[in-house]
Amino acid sequence: MACPLPRPPWRQGQLDGLCGLYAAINALAYVLAPVITVDRRWAARLFKHGLAHIAEHVPLTTAVRDGIDPEPWVALATHLADHVAAKLDVPISVTLPFAGNAKAGRDEWLDLARRTIDAGDALLLLLAGEHRHYTMATRLTPRLLALHDSSGLQHLQMSATGMGSSKRRHRIQAEWTIVLGLRQHRVRERPG
């Protein structure tokens, strides 16, 4: 069962290309909601940590102006998840179910999206077409893919959404889909 959204999405500035960083922070806030509330201070620390990671891999001015490519984005999301997992001692899984598979079919992707959202995990995706944009999906109906998005994009019409190299208005790049989730873990007993 999908979790309720913990808060409105953290929003990116109107002049930056850091949607990938915001998407990762929003996804972490979503999966961590049963454990901790990612408030403004926490989000700001994650943002700062994420910026430092980006700056190690991509010139920061380029990232702010043009965004980041998919490989550094996956590395960023993984890095932030690992950082938070270590800090909170909470196991967070990061998977790329279609890694290297640019030709994943629409039905296959939609099936993964349904299962991921129903499980309460975060589904991060890269859009091409009208938007070159990283975002997080929260609900899937036959007509709409609802988003928890840093730029204010609320949903995609499924009739206008395709995969990869389709001619549709919105194109999901399946090979860059990321699933973040809390892994099963036992609460540690305190010594003494």
**pLDDT (tens digit per residue) in 13-37:** 755 789 999 999 999 999 999 988 9
Does a structural domain hold residue 68?
Answer: yes
Does a structural domain hold residue 154?
Answer: yes
Number of domains in the chain: 1
The per-residue pLDDT for 184 is: 66
pLDDT at 189 over 50: no
Does a structural domain hold residue 63?
Answer: yes
Does a structural domain hold residue 138?
Answer: yes
The per-residue pLDDT for 186 is: 43
Q: Is there a contact between 148 and 138 (Cβ–Cβ < 8 Å)?
A: yes
Tell me, what CATH number does 68's domain have? 3.90.70
Measured from the Cβ of residue 129, the count of other Cβ atoms closer than 10 Å reads: 18
C-alpha pair distances (Å), 81 with each of 98, 122, 124, 130, 180: 19, 12, 13, 29, 8
Can you give the residue range of the structural domain that contains 117?
Answer: 19-182
Does a structural domain hold residue 190?
Answer: no
Does a structural domain hold residue 3?
Answer: no
Does a structural domain hold residue 12?
Answer: no
Q: Is there a contact between 159 and 170 (Cβ–Cβ < 8 Å)?
A: no
Q: Which helix (H) or strand (E) holds 172?
A: strand 170-172
The per-residue pLDDT for 14 is: 59
Rounded to whole angstroms, how far apart are CA atoms 1 and 175? 25
Measured from the Cβ of residue 54, the count of other Cβ atoms closer than 10 Å reads: 23
Structure confidence by residue, pLDDT tens digits, 109-164: 999 999 999 999 999 999 998 888 999 999 999 999 999 998 888 999 999 998 98
Q: Is there a contact between 123 and 116 (Cβ–Cβ < 8 Å)?
A: yes
The position carrying tokens 């609460």 is 187
Region 33-56: what's the mean pLDDT? 93
List phi, psi (to 5°) of 70.
-60, -45
> pLDDT tier at 8 (50, 70, 90 boundaries)?
confident
The position carrying tokens 């550094």 is 72
Does a structural domain hold residue 14?
Answer: no
